[in-house]
Structure 1
Amino acid sequence: MAAGMNTRVVEDSTVRWIGGAWENPENNLEGNRPATDPGTELLFLEIPFDHAVSHRPGTRFGPAAILRALDGFSLYCTDKRVDLAPLRLRRFGEVDVSNDIHATYRHIADTVAGLPSDDTPVFLGGDHSITDPILRGLLRRHPDRKLGLIVFDAHFDSRVPVPGKEHSGHWMHTVAEVFDHRHSVQLGVDAPIYSHTYMERAEAAGIMVRTPWDIRRAGLAGTVEEAIRHAVEPTDEVHISIDIDCLSAGFAPGTSVPNAAGLMLWDVADAVFEIARSADHASLDIVEVSPPLDAGGITAQSAAHLVMNFLAGRAARLRQG
């Protein structure tokens, strides 16, 4: 039985588990791997960094907790009726992090830029500041592709950083040095810590912002279709960034700033599935899962469900193609 898998209540030979499906990590180097169809390789990279967490640390333990939860899932996404067996799942290991924030960001960007070019990356964090270097690395990895961005988060994360007091609430501002936000979307923003200036600046930059109230009024399906038109259809690749605090706290108590009025888990899962199957090329990061704050592992389970819906979306895309 693979490490991290729980004892099964029922052993069934028809069921394959994610925990037993990981490819041999010794074959991580591109030259050592057998040829596969483009898009079938899902590469998981752990980024256990929380030196920029805004309030309560602990997200450095998030990647391991998400993987443990995911190992207990089968290779069939029952909800979406999608078999994940055509995908090849590879654990690429951890990015080396240090107490030097900016050195760590450079290392993350360099690592992402050097990932095998045909793989679909899944990044497990870590605090949300890592999305800045992830995006910088993705832009270098495929400089010929126009990149769209869809973020699920309760926060704008667009504050101007103060040197020496950097935290995870700056990355949407800092990444604008290299990234054009005209094809960015922010879904779920509702944290009561901003002024109208933040909304105005975001929308002036071309970002499509939808609060939970906006989504409830317009309906999830219509909002997702609008997000796809804004960030997927005009681009060659979309990156999905999920801050787990976008979810209502009942689904994600184990995070730095739990959100009492966030989105429902199933709504985010359905949106991620639809976005992932709509794009020719896609990547995902999921951040801010803090196991020391996560009684019962609820938050890690929620994160694993979101990852599974991304996998199901990519498998559905392959089936369509």
Structure 2
Amino acid sequence: MYRPGNQSIWKGRQDPGSTRDVWHQVVQTADLNAQIPDGFCFLGFCSDVGVKRNLGRVGAVDGPDAIRKAMVNLAVHFDKNIKLTDVGDVVVSGEQLENAQRELARYIEAILKNGSFPILMGGGHEISYAHGKGVLDAFPNEKIGIINFDPHFDLRAYPQGAHSGSWAHQLFDGFENFHYLPIGINEAVNIAPMFELMRNKNQSFISMDELLGESEEDLLARISYFIDQMDKVCITLDLDVFSAGVAPGVSAVNPYGALPHHIKPLMNKILQSEKVVSFDVAEMSPKHDDGRAAKLAASFVYDVVNRKTNP
């Protein structure tokens, strides 16, 4: 089920006489069924059905609005011609996750074909199947790479239906032109067949130990090699790649994770590539958060807008 953007969320503090200093003053709302806006489109996926099926902590269904509320007072540092539009949410009805994923993918495809940039907010990581499908459907004859900041491969089997841990497996099963670079993989939380699947698909990954221990120069060289082979690239940021100390409000807390300074330089470099066409942030679970994870998610959305606007 789709619901258009809600302007009432975009309210916050402002200085006297201020008209264009913070995001809530410039973000507009729209109905995708009426018109696809230009510029950046904020689109939520209200779902934790996939988290529930994956035996995670539920609560991510409320993630998109938590991220929006953390974005309202972000400072404007981009040209007045840049448009930010909240285009609303796709909401899972009951257990109809697969239908909602297909619906979200159609909207993403339409946004991309309009030449706009979708910024997707979850919700469980099942958002990334829809994200990937939308990009792959929009560019069927091109090599599409997804860079996933995540301790999990998300290559689990899905005999009982899609879930938050199966989206990458589903994309491999459905699309020959899907390519994959996970960053932050923790061996302890990924079973051996997932490593075998990556080898069989001739895909590489960067482990959590490498993310935390290798030089930024070496990491960027490996990431750039992947990007150079792709026609289009999209990014997914699973908030549970971060240590629980900085991101408590996630579906699966991480006792051995990254800190923002490990990921932001890599992300910002990736965003400078003209091949990056979309971004999602996943596993925001406000039920378990004290505001830290929501603000962290908002800071990455901020970086996406500013780096793509001022590469």
TM-score when normalising by structure 2: 0.87
Change (3 A) 1:145 1:182: closer
1:221 offset after TM fit, Å? 3.3
In 2, the alpha carbon distance for the partners of 1:17 and 1:282 equals: 25
Q: Is the 8 A contact 2:151 2:189 kept in 1?
A: no
In 2, the alpha carbon distance for the partners of 1:276 and 1:266 equals: 16
1:27 offset after TM fit, Å? 8.6
Q: Is the 8 A contact 2:247 2:292 kept in 1?
A: yes
Q: Summarize the alignment of residues 39-118 of structure 1 with structure 2, pairs less than 5 Å apart.
A: 41-53=39-51, 54=54, 55-76=56-77, 83=78, 85-99=80-94, 100-115=96-111, 116-118=113-115
1:184 aligns with 2:190: no
Q: Is the 8 A contact 1:150 1:240 kept in 2?
A: yes
Corresponding residue number in structure 2 for 1:79: none
Corresponding residue number in structure 2 for 1:305: 299
1:255 aligns with 2:253: no
Q: Is the 8 A contact 2:136 2:178 kept in 1?
A: no
- Counting matched residue pairs gives 300
The gaps in structure 1 that reach 5 residues or longer are: 77-82
* One-letter identity of the residue aligned with 1:220: E
In 2, the alpha carbon distance for the partners of 1:6 and 1:294 equals: 21
Corresponding residue number in structure 2 for 1:23: 28
* Among 144, 147, 152, the residue aligned to 1:150: 147
Q: Is the 8 A contact 2:211 2:262 kept in 1?
A: no
Q: Summarize the alignment of residues 105-144 of structure 1 with structure 2, pairs less than 5 Å apart.
A: 105-115=101-111, 116-144=113-141
SS in 2 for 1:240: strand
Partner deviation per Cα, 1:272-299 (whole Å, 9 max, x = no partner): 211111133420011100001102x110
1:48 offset after TM fit, Å? 0.6
In 2, the alpha carbon distance for the partners of 1:258 and 1:281 equals: 28
* Among 218, 222, 226, the residue aligned to 1:226: 222
Moved more, 96-105 or 307-316: 96-105
* One-letter identity of the residue aligned with 2:175: F
In 1, the alpha carbon distance for the partners of 2:159 and 2:278 equals: 30
* One-letter identity of the residue aligned with 1:236: D
* One-letter identity of the residue aligned with 2:144: L
Please tell me the root mean square deviation across aligned C-alpha atoms, in Å. Answer: 2.5
Partner deviation per Cα, 1:5-39 (whole Å, 9 max, x = no partner): 4435x6584971111111352698447x6xx7xxx
In 2, the alpha carbon distance for the partners of 1:215 and 1:27 equals: 38
Moved more, 13-22 or 43-52: 13-22
1:7 aligns with 2:7: no
In 2, the alpha carbon distance for the partners of 1:285 and 1:15 equals: 26
In 2, the alpha carbon distance for the partners of 1:154 and 1:286 equals: 14
Change (3 A) 1:141 1:51: same
Moved more, 20-29 or 260-269: 20-29
Moved more, 176-185 or 15-24: 176-185
The gaps in structure 2 that reach 5 residues or longer are: 1-6
SS in 2 for 1:52: helix
SS in 2 for 1:203: helix
Change (3 A) 1:68 1:132: same
In 2, the alpha carbon distance for the partners of 1:102 and 1:27 equals: 20
Q: Is the 8 A contact 2:42 2:88 kept in 1?
A: yes
Corresponding residue number in structure 1 for 2:3: none
In 2, the alpha carbon distance for the partners of 1:207 and 1:158 equals: 13
TM-score when normalising by structure 1: 0.85
Corresponding residue number in structure 2 for 1:236: 231
Q: Is the 8 A contact 1:247 1:259 kept in 2?
A: yes
In 1, the alpha carbon distance for the partners of 2:41 and 2:203 equals: 28
Identity of aligned residues (%): 25
